[in-house]
Amino acid sequence: MDNSYNGQFDPSLISLLEDAIEFAVYQIAVDRTHPHGGRVIMFSPSLIEIAGIDDPLNFNSWFIDIHPEDKQRVIEANRRSWTEAVRYDQTARHYNKTKGEWTWVRTISTPVFDAEHNLSHFTGLVIDITEQKLAEDELKYRSVFENLILSLATKFINLPPDDLDTAICEALKSIGEFTEVDRSYLFSFSENQETLTCTHEWCAPDISPQIQYLRQIPVSNLQWSNYQIFNGKVLHIPSVSQLPAEAQNEKIEFTRQGIQSLLAVPMEYQGRVIGLLGFDSVLKEKTWPDDSVALLQVVASIIINAQENKRAHESLLRAYDDLEQRVVDRTVELKLANFNLQKEIEQRKQAEESLRISQALYSEVFENSTKQLFIIEVLPDEQFRILRTNPKHQKGSGLTSDQVWGKTIDEVVIPEVAQSIKQHYLDCIKAGHAIEYEEQGPSPYWDLDRIRTFHTTISPVFDQNGKIVRLVGATEDITDQKAAEKIIMEKAREEAVSAERSRLARELHDAVTQTLFSTTLTAEVLPKIFEKNPKTGFEKLGELRELTRGALAEMRTLLMELRPEALADAELVDLLQHLVNAFIARARIPIDLQIKGDCSLPVDVKIGFYRIAQEALNNISKHADPEKVLVSLTCHPETIDLIVDDNGRGFETDRLIGTDHYGLRIMQERAAEINAELEITSQINQGAHIHLRWLKPFSNPVLLDEKDEK
C-alpha cells in the first residue's frame, strides 16, 4: 500500500505557512522507508529560526540537535504516534546554532486519515516557549529563595548564642551556593567606624579564602565604597573592571582578591551601620536582580539582629559573673570581720550585702534595657500597684514615673485596657510561672488611634512562704515585625493565585488551539466527504458546528481568565454554560446541564463555584474517560448545591492527598475559602461524585447527607 500523502494544499493554509512568524506549521506524510517513519512534505520557513533545524525537508535532521535529556523521550513519543496513530505533544530543548543557545520548543501534531481510514499524514504546530520557561524558572527561583530565607529566619529565632557563629557560616554557605557566587562573607566595623574586619567567610571549591588578609582594614583605604555603605546604600558592582576613577583603590583591592563582580549589603542596627554582608563572583561577571538584592537585605537584617542579641546576652553574662565575684569577695570580707558574731547575724549581713549588690546590678540593667520593663505589686481583691517602670516603658506608654509609680492599674489606664492587663496578671498568678503573650493596644495608653502589637513576658516573684508578691514584666513592640511577616505572606499568596490563573489560561489556550486545528482539518476534508457521502458530510458538518461553538466557548473562558473582572460581572449560569460547551467540544463527551431555581450569590462565592466546576471538568477530561457527565446547579432558599457526576474510571478517595490528585486538593481549598462543604466520593470503575454545598448566611444548617423532602 502506498503510504505517501498526495493531498492538495489549501491556498489559505499555504498563506498561513508562509506568514507564520512566532510559530511554524508543517505536514509529514507516512513513509516507513524514511528515518523516524515520516517524510516532510510541507513546513513554514519560520521552523528554521524557531527550532534551528538546518534541513527541514530531512525529517531525520529534526532529531539531531535535541538536548540529550529530552531526545529519548521525543523519539519514543514520535514512534508511538506513527505506530499507534495518536496525537503527538512534546516539549523539548533544541540547540539553535544560529542563536548559539538552547531554545525551548513545543511541538503538537495531529494524525490525519484518508478515506479508507488509513493514517496518511500528520499536521503539526511548532511554538517557541523559551520566554515562558524562563519566566517559570524565575518565579520558581524566587519562591525557593524566599523559602530558604524563611528557614534561616526560623533557625535564628531563639538560637543559643554559642551556636550563632556556626549558624552564620552555614547561612553564608546556603545562600552562596543558591545564588551561585564564589565567596560570601561578613564584615564588622569598629566601634568608632575607622576600621573593618572580616569575621565570617565561605568560599566555593577551588576559590582562595581571603579572611586572613582582611583584618583591621582602615576605612579610609576604601573610602568610595565605605561611603555608600555608611549611607545605607547597597554596593552593586556588576564589573570591577568598569569601576569609576574615584574608586581606584577599590579596583586595585578587588582585583587583588580576583573579584570580577561584587554585591555588599549594609547591616544596620538602630539606625547605625555596624557591618556589611558581601558576595563575590570570581570566575565570571555577575549581576544581581533587584528582587534578590531585596531578599539579601532581609538576610542581613536577620543576621545583625541575631548578633546584637548575642552581644546583649554576653554583656548580661559578664554582669552576672561580676556580680557573683563581688558577692564572693564581699562574703569573705564579712566572714573575716565578723568571725565571732552569732551565726544568725552573720547570715543576715551576708544576705543584706548580696541584696544590695543585686539591686545595684538590677538597677543598671533595668534602667538601660531596650525593652519596656515594669514591676507590679500584687494587692488583695485582684488589684495591682505599679512599683516601677524603666525609661523605655515610660517612653512607650507616654507616662512618666511621677504619673504611674505607686498607682494602681485602674488609676493609670482606661477601663478597657486595664481589664485586659489585669487578666494577664491573674493568668500568671494562676500558672505560678512565667507566661508570654502577644496583644494589641494603644501606645501611648491614651491614644486609641495608635494601636501597636506587643510581645510581653511576665514572671512571678515569691516571698519566703511561697506566696506571689510581685510580678516582673518585659514588653517589646513587635508591630513592624508583624507587618513585615504579613506582607511576605500576602505576597506569597498573590503569587500563588497568579500562578494558578496562568496555569488555567495556558490550558485554555492549548484547548482553543487544538479545537481550531480540528476545525481546520475537518473543514478541509468536508467537501470531499460531501462528494462521496452527503449523509456523512452532514454529520461532519454538525461536528464542525460543535467544534466552532466549543472554540467560541473556550475563547470566552480564556478571555475571562485574562480579565478576572469579567468573572465577577457574569452570571453563574452563563459561566457554567460556557464551561459545558467548551468541555463538549474539547472532550467530545455529552454533558447534561441542569439548572434549578434562581441563584444569587456573592461575587467570591460565585467565583468559587465556577472554579470548582472548572477544575472538576478538567479532571474528568484528563483522567475519567466517561461516557456521560451530569452538571447540576440547584438553588434553594437556604442552600446552593452544585453536583458534578461522571461514570468514568473513578479513583481511590483515601489517596486524595497524593500528587495524582492535585486538582482535588485545589477544589477542597477553594471550598474552604468560601465556607462551603465539599464532598468527593468515588470508586474504581464506578465514576465519581462531587457535591458542593454553600449555606446562605443566617440559615439553619443542612447536612450534605440529608435527603430533600421533595
User: What does the mean pLDDT of the chain come to?
Assistant: 82
**Secondary structure letter of residue 331 according to DSSP:** H
The candidate with the shortest Cα–Cα distance to 386, out of 357, 355, 421, is 421
Each residue of 236-255: b (16+ CB within 10 Å) or e?
ebeebeebeeebeebbebbe
Nine cell digits for residue 610: 465556577
> Per-residue pLDDT averaged across 357-372, rounded?
72
369-477 homologous superfamily:
PAS domain (3.30.450.20)
The number of beta carbons lying within 10 Å of the beta carbon of residue 185 is 22
> Per-residue pLDDT averaged across 183-211, rounded?
93
CA distance 277 to 199: 11
444 upstream amide cis, omega within 30 of 0: yes
Q: Determine the angle formed by the axes of helices 479-532 and 572-587, rounding to 10 degrees.
A: 50
Question: What does the angle CA 585 – CA 679 – CA 633 come to, to the nearest 5 degrees?
Answer: 50
Query: So what's the pLDDT on residue 442?
Result: 77
Higher pLDDT, residue 71 or 142:
71
Q: Hey, which residues does 664 pair with through a beta bridge?
A: none
Q: Which residues make Cβ contacts (< 8 Å) with residue 177, sequence separation at least 6?
A: 204
Sheet holding 383-389, edge to edge: 383-389, 372-379, 468-477, 451-462, 435-442
- In this prediction, residue 311 has a pLDDT band, given cuts at 50, 70 and 90, of confident
Q: Quick check: do 11-128 and 136-312 share a fold?
A: yes
CA distance 601 to 606: 6
Higher pLDDT, residue 699 or 688:
688
**Class level of CATH domain 136-312:** alpha beta
What pLDDT, in 10s, does the model give residues 203-254? Answer: 999 999 999 999 999 999 999 999 999 999 999 999 999 999 999 999 999 9
Q: Which residues make Cβ contacts (< 8 Å) with residue 33, sequence separation at least 6?
A: none
| 476 neighbors 372 (Cβ within 8 angstroms) | yes
DSSP character string of 598-640: -----HHHHHHHHHHHHHHHHHIIIII--S-EEEEEEE-SSEE
Q: What type of residue is 115?
A: A
Question: Which whole-number Å values give the CA distances from 623 to 620, 628, 646, 654, in the listed order?
Answer: 5, 14, 11, 17
What pLDDT, in 10s, does the model give residues 531-571? Answer: 777 877 777 777 676 667 666 666 666 656 655 666 778 88
Sheet holding 629-635, edge to edge: 591-596, 629-635, 639-646, 688-695, 677-682
Can you tell me whether residue 110 is helix, strand or coil? strand
Handedness of CA 507, 512, 514, 515 (dihedral sign): positive
**Residue 197 phi, psi (nearest 5):** -135, 140
pLDDT higher than threshold 50 for residue 673: yes
- In this prediction, residue 17 has a pLDDT band, given cuts at 50, 70 and 90, of low
CA distance 145 to 681: 39
Give pTM, 2 decimals: 0.39
CA distance 460 to 454: 20
Any idea which architecture 11-128 has in CATH?
2-Layer Sandwich (3.30)
| 482 neighbors 535 (Cβ within 8 angstroms) | no
Query: So what's the pLDDT on residue 511?
Result: 58
Q: In the chain, what percentage of residues exceed pLDDT 90?
A: 34
Query: So what's the pLDDT on residue 559?
Result: 57
Q: What type of residue is 78?
A: N
Scan for cell 513519543, then name that residue. Answer: 77
Query: So what's the pLDDT on residue 138?
Result: 77
Q: Hey, which residues does 633 pair with through a beta bridge?
A: 595, 642
Domain ranges of the chain: 11-128, 136-312, 369-477, 488-562, 567-710
Higher pLDDT, residue 318 or 172:
172
What pLDDT, in 10s, does the model give residues 635-665? Answer: 998 999 999 999 999 888 766 544 455 678 8
**Secondary structure letter of residue 693 according to DSSP:** E
Max mean pLDDT range (478-487, 562-571, 664-673): 664-673
Q: Which residues make Cβ contacts (< 8 Å) with residue 142, sequence separation at least 6?
A: 291, 292, 295
Question: Is CATH 3.30.1360.20 correct for 567-710?
Answer: no
CATH topology of domain 488-562: 1.20.5
pLDDT higher than threshold 90 for residue 77: yes
